[in-house]
Amino acid sequence: MTDAATPEELPATDGPSFCYRHPDRETWVSCGRCDRPICTRCAMQGPVGLRCRDCGKPAFDPLTSVKPVPAALGVGVALAGGVITALIASRMGFFSILLSWFAGSIIVQAVNRVTGYKHGPTITGIILGGIIAGAAIAFAVDYVLMLQEIAAMAAAAGDAGYDYPITSMLVDQGIWALVSVIACCAGAWQRIR
C-alpha cells in the first residue's frame, strides 16, 4: 500500500489565486514558507523554491548592512575628500570640473575600502552627503580666509573707507564651488552605479 492521496482526498481548487500584494494578478504560485499566493513580480528565489517578498528578504543583508564604526569612517573619508577637493578646485577655475569629476570616483573608492565594499542607499548617502557637506565646509573656510585677507590688505593700505567687492567675489567663489560639487557628485555617482 502506498500513502499517495487519491484524487478525492486532494484539496479542490476553484482556479487561480490572486497575488496578495497585487490583487488584480492571477497566479498559480504560492510562497514556499507562508503559502500566500504570489505573482511573478513578487516572487523571490529562496533556498528551496519561491518565496514572497516578506519571507524571502534576509534578516541581515551582508552586502548593504554597515556597522557603526565603518560607517563613521566612511563619513569621515567622504567629508575629508569633499573638503580637500573643494579647497583645491576653488583655486583652479575651469579645470576644477575635471579635478572634481575624478576626485568623486576616488572618494567612492576610498569609502568603499573603509566600509568593506558595501553598497546600497546608506553608502550612497554617506558618499554624496560627505561630498556636499565637505564642499560647504571648504566654501566657509575660503570665505573666512578671503575676509581675513581683505582686512589685512585694508589695514596695510590704511584704506578704512574703501569698499571691497566682497559680494562679487563671494558670488564667483560660490558658483565655482557649486560647479565643483556637481562635478564631484556626478563622478561619484558614475562610480557608485
Query: pLDDT tens across 136-175, in order?
Result: 999 999 888 888 887 787 777 776 556 667 777 788 888 8
Inter-axis angle of helices 96-115 and 121-157, to 10 degrees? 130
Contacts of 16 (CB under 8 A, 6+ apart): 26, 27, 28
The Cβ of residue 6 has, within 10 Å, a number of other Cβ atoms equal to 6
Per residue in 66-88, pLDDT tens?
899 999 999 999 999 999 999 99
Which DSSP category does 94 fall into?
A: G
pLDDT for 143 = 86
Q: Report DSSP state, residue 163.
A: -
| Crossing angle for the helix pair 166-192 and 96-115, to the nearest 10 degrees | 50
pLDDT, tens digit, for every residue of 18-68? 888 888 988 888 888 888 898 888 888 877 788 888 888 777 777 788 899
Residue 5 pLDDT > 70? no
The CA–CA distances, whole Å, from 61 to 53, 119, 128 equal 14, 11, 22
Q: With contact defined as beta carbons under 8 Å apart, do 29 and 38 qualify?
A: yes
Residues 52-69, buried b or exposed e (16+ Cβ, 10 A)? Answer: beebbeeeeeeeeebeee
Closest C-alpha to 186, from 64, 74, 97, 94: 97
**Residue 191 main-chain phi, psi, to 5 deg:** -75, -35
Distance between CA 48 and CA 105 in Å, rounded? 40
* Domain residue limits, the chain: 17-56, 68-192
Instruction: Judge if pTM exceeds 0.85.
Output: no
Question: Within 10 Å of residue 123's Cβ, how many Cβ atoms?
Answer: 23
